[in-house]
Amino acid sequence: MALYEGILQRDRYYLAKAITLVESSRSDHKIQAQQLLSLLLDAQNKIMHKDFPSVRLYKKLDADIGDTNKKITYRIGLSGPPGVGKSTFIEAFGMHVLSKGHRVAVLAVDPSSPRTGGSIMGDKTRMPQLSHQEDAYVRPSPTRGTLAAGYDVILVETVGVGQSEIMVSEMVDMFVLIVPPAGGDEIQGLKKGIVEIADLVIVNKADGQLANAAKEAAAEYKSALKYLKPTSSVWMPKVIPVSAKTKMGINDVWDAVKEYFLKSSECERKRGTQRKLWMWRQVTSELLERFKSESSIRTLVNELDQKLFRGEITSGAAADLVVDRFINKK
């Protein structure tokens, strides 16, 4: 498969083609996409079993956290409200990580629309420096990390709306939340569920007049996190004030990321759970699609639509009829 070879060679042309394939809703594309993902998964497993044998190995590396161990794939989700500085941060962080000899892929997940807060997610113009680097790949695309084979630091960006953070946290090993330098009520206002799944909270814009506010906000987040259930038994979420603009704290974030991957013996277990979850997601959507396209179901649903609209039948009763029709036919 040319696509498979191309991706392993880190050829951007093939990578872009593969992403288009995976996102396609055509059924023949879906089959090809699954074949491709399976091949990549096998390739990834071979690499992992060779270089990712156990966490005990990392313990030995404790003295020199990680940079020598380039074979780890860092799958990191980044989320935050529009304007918080996500693209500025990714640009600064990405350049820093590249300078340490890694290859960086930036992918974006935006379930609502490609346009958020006036900027297009994953748009190359938002990360002008990074997107021009030979070893970096920036693309607006909700793909699973598998496709970014050949890149060892995969940043999956999402804007802080709806369910996208949860979805992203299910695709990555580490979930990073970027927040503005504001405390008090605004922290209260932040959706608790999002802070709960964060492995790392970055308080951005910790510079100039906002420096103190950022430090105070960081302290508030730290105490707020103490009362939340930790995401892991070995990792206590960290809070780091950062200035994406002046690059203050960027190295601290990279150190925290390396420490997380080093400590997180759950990483592999998490990936296993995620694979199961994604299988069920796919089964659910595939079944639903087939179910809805059954002609007998379509006819019945059309009839029921009217009745439902007019209030002549309850949704529960209508659902029963639809499911019964399907089961009795079988």
Considering only the stretches 94-102, 137-145, 204-212, 303-311, report the one whose residues sit in contact with ligand GDP under the rule CB under 6 A: 204-212
What is the spatial distance between Cα 40 and Cα 4, in angstroms, rounded to a whole number?
7
Q: Of 85 and 145, which CB lies nearer to ligand GDP in the complex structure?
A: 85
HSE of 261, CA atoms in CB hemisphere, 13 A: 24
Nearest residue to ligand GDP, by Cβ distance, number only = 85
- Alpha-helical (H) ranges within the chain are 2-8, 12-23, 27-51, 55-60, 86-99, 128-131, 164-169, 185-189, 192-197, 211-226, 250-263, 267-293, 295-310, 315-329
Beta-bridged to residue 205, according to DSSP, are none
Q: Of 135 and 207, which CB lies nearer to ligand GDP in the complex structure?
A: 207
Determine, following the binding rule CB under 6 A, whether residue 86 of this chain makes contact with ligand GDP: yes
Determine, following the binding rule CB under 6 A, whether residue 160 of this chain makes contact with ligand GDP: no
Determine, following the binding rule CB under 6 A, whether residue 207 of this chain makes contact with ligand GDP: yes
For ligand GDP (CB under 6 A), the number of binding residues is 16
What is the spatial distance between Cα 263 and Cα 21, in angstroms, rounded to a whole number?
36
Determine, following the binding rule CB under 6 A, whether residue 131 of this chain makes contact with ligand GDP: no
Minimum distance between the CB of residue 207 and ligand GDP, rounded to whole angstroms? 5
Residue among 53, 111, 114, 117 that touches ligand GDP (CB under 6 A): 117
Contact 171, 182 (CB under 8 A): no
Using the structure block, give the residue that is written with the tokens 């340490």: 100
Residue among 15, 40, 84, 97 that touches ligand GDP (CB under 6 A): 84
Q: Catalog residues that contact ligand GDP under the rule CB under 6 A.
A: 80, 82-88, 117, 119, 204-205, 207, 243-245
